[in-house]
Chain A
Amino acid sequence: MDIGELKKQSDVSYDIAVAKRNALEKAHARLVMVYNEHIFLADPQTINLVKTLSEAHTSPFYMLDTNNNPVEISEPKEFLQILIKRNQEAISSYHQMSKTFEKRGD
């Protein structure tokens, strides 16, 4: 492989790395959501906590928002659905983007 080809591959790798990082940040930004006037991350930890508490605890239950303030959750099923919807919206978008990275990297 000549140096020109190596440079070309390096440029493609750079483009993919930048695009991948930005797509991931975009997904993270989309995970931030407001519910009941408080801010939460629709990440696996929050989803698991809400699911566990909704199954193993009588409602209402209490949890912390992103600023560590306590919030009463009186409608756990509704909250869980919103969290899952937001999580999958963000991650499926990232999944679609990652398919394009794979094609470019071939």
Chain B
Amino acid sequence: MTKGVLLFCFDTPEFKYHKILEKCVALIRKNLKLQVTVVTNFDTYKHLKPLGFVNYKFIDPEMGNKKNGLEWRNVDRHMAYELSPYDTTLVMDIDYFTFTDNLRQFVDTKYDFLISKNAYDLTNRNSFDTRKNSMIDMVWATVFVFKKGNKAKRIFDMVKYVKQYYAYFMDLYRVRDRRFRNDYAFAIALEQANGMITYETLPITLPTLPPDCKVLKMDDEGIAWQYNDQINYTCDQDVHVLNKGMANV
């Protein structure tokens, strides 16, 4: 049984995501000690510094999605099943930094597909209460684990179907956010594929820094950030950073 981490990384004209990837891979290697495969394009790859033994899969990212008026290349997550070379895969956003080995154990479960429904705001403002934004629970496609087999394949096939008719499903589930979001594509697919009742989840809450927090410093142990005139620090705790300016830290 092969196990590894799958990451997606595409630079945009505004953000050098490859800089974030470099930090992410170093922490995976240190704390999760799993093989890494990066899905990217050549334009991003040529800017990467040598990352040691990393597998690369080259694709042309699907364009057209935007966030705050800027290019947002996040639409290819539905291909994780086909792109992963592993039997069990941990898929992560590159802005999720693993300062612990907490995620490592989830590649050793019997479950075919696990994803988390919860995130919490590291600034203590409770800004990730997404329940009021749609008729169904949102999931966080930031981190999920799947084991290749019929069940996981069905879920990914359903994600592809939801993506194809995304506008319809947004209306059906009254999702406020009209941009394509993997979080809702996976939430809807899991709802549909599991008979609209319930599905198995990762019992973790993703520690998340909101976009209005500026990352001041990051090392092997943790992250320091500024929110308004307050500076805080956390160490030995995984962190999902939403402010992409951290590429330059």
Contacts and interface: CB of A to CB of B under 8 A. Distances in A.
A31 to B, nearest CB: 9
B129 interface: no
A10 to B, nearest CB: 10
A18 B122 contact: yes
B200 to A, nearest CB: 4
Given A29-B204, A66-B203, A22 B234 contact: yes
A15 B102 CA distance: 25
B100 interface: yes
B132 interface: no
Nearest to B203: A66
Nearest to A21: B124
Given A22-B207, A39-B203, A67-B201, A29 B102 contact: yes
Interface residues of B, number: 26
A11 interface: yes
Interface in B197-211: 200-205, 207
A88 B205 CA distance: 20
Interface string B233-249: 01011100000000000
B109 interface: yes
B109 A26 contact: no
Contacts of A26: 207, 234, 236-237
Contacts of A50: none
A17 B124 CA distance: 8
Interface residues of A, number: 24
B56 interface: no
Given A25-B237, A29-B238, A34 B122 contact: no
Q: Which of A32, A33, A37 has the most CB of B within 10 A?
A: A32
Q: Which of B109, B123, B204, B232 has the most CB of A within 10 A?
A: B109
Q: Which 9 A-B pairs have the closest CB atoms?
A: A37-B110, A34-B105, A66-B203, A67-B200, A26-B237, A18-B124, A21-B124, A22-B234, A37-B109
Interface of B: 100, 102, 105-106, 108-111, 120, 122-124, 200-205, 207, 229-230, 232, 234, 236-238
